[in-house]
Amino acid sequence: MTLPIEPVMTPPAGQGDDLALLGLLQLVSPALPIGAFAFSQGLESAFELGWVRDEATLGDWLEGVLEDGLTRCELPALTRLSAAWAAGDGEALAEWDQWLAANRETAELAAEDLRLGASLARLLDSLALLPAEPTLPERAGYVTVFAWTAHRRGVPVRQALLGFAWAWLENQLAVACKALPLGHTAAQRLVERLRPSVVVAVDEALTLADDELGPALPGLALASALHETQYSRLFRS
C-alpha cells in the first residue's frame, strides 16, 4: 500500500541544513522528555554479573554491542525505515517495524522499544509533528518513530544514523556513570575511543543487504533476561 507522502517543511533558502542539524540535535538530546534515561539495555545486569567492571571492560562491551548489534539491526533498519517514510510505503514501514520487534530477545528489551516509541509519538503529537493517519504503524517501536522524526526534520539518512548511534552511546555512558564507579572523565575517554567505531558502524550499516541483517548478542540477551529478576535495580531494562 502506498501512503500519501507527508510534506517536509521547506525552510528559507540557506537554512535547510542548519534547521535539519538543530532538529537532529533536539531528537538525540538527553533532555528529550521520552524517558530514555530509565533504561540500560541489559548493561545494569552486566555490572551485577561482573562482566563489566571498569572503563576497559565497559569499552569492550560497548564496542561489541555496536559492532554485532546496532550495525546489523537498528542502524540498517533505520535506513530502510527512512526510505519507506520518504516513499510513503506503509507495507515497508510495517514490515521493518515488525522485524525490529521480532529481534527484541527479552520482555524488557521489547517493552523498552515500545515505551520509547510511544513516548516519542506522544511528544510529536504535542508538537503537531505526527504523520497523517494511518502512516504510523500501530504501537510503533522507537526506531520507526525516530526515522519519521528525522525524515520530518529533513535530516539526511547518514546523519540520522550517526545521531541514533550517538544517542545510544551517550545513554549507555550515562548508565555507567550512575551504576559503576565510573567518572565523567573516564566516560569522555570512552567517547574518544568509540567515536571512530560509530562512524565505521554507520558506514557498514549503509552497505548491508537484507539477508545480512540480524544482531548476534547472546551475552546481552542473557544479561537482559537475568535483569528481569535482579533483586536491586536502578533501571527498567
Give the predicted TM-score (pTM) of the model.
Answer: 0.91
pLDDT tier, 39 (very low <50, low <70, confident <90, very high otherwise): confident
Number of domains in the chain: 1
Residue 142 has pLDDT above 70, yes or no: yes
Q: Give a yes or no: residue 18 inside a domain.
A: no
Q: Give a yes or no: residue 68 inside a domain.
A: yes
Q: Domain containing 147 — which CATH number? A: 1.10.4190.10
Which range has highest mean pLDDT (85-94, 172-181, 192-201)?
192-201
More confident residue, 11 or 36: 36
Q: Give a yes or no: residue 171 inside a domain.
A: yes
Cα-flanking dihedrals φ and ψ of residue 6, to 5°?
Answer: -70, 125
* Amino acid 2: pLDDT: 43
| Cβ–Cβ under 8 Å, residues 59 and 180 | no
Q: Give a yes or no: residue 162 inside a domain.
A: yes
Q: What is the mean pLDDT of the chain?
A: 90
| Cβ–Cβ under 8 Å, residues 75 and 158 | no
Residue range(s) defining the domain that contains residue 82: 39-227
Q: Give a yes or no: residue 21 inside a domain.
A: no
Percent residues over pLDDT 90 in the chain: 77
Residues 165, 99: Cα–Cα separation, whole Å: 19
Q: Give a yes or no: residue 3 inside a domain.
A: no
Measured CA angle at 236 (ends 121, 213), to 5 deg: 65
Residue 160 has pLDDT above 70, yes or no: yes
| Cβ–Cβ under 8 Å, residues 78 and 10 | no
Mean pLDDT of 135-164: 95
* Amino acid 3: pLDDT: 45
Residues 141, 139: Cα–Cα separation, whole Å: 6
Residues 98, 173: Cα–Cα separation, whole Å: 28
What nine digits make up the cell of 66? 555496536
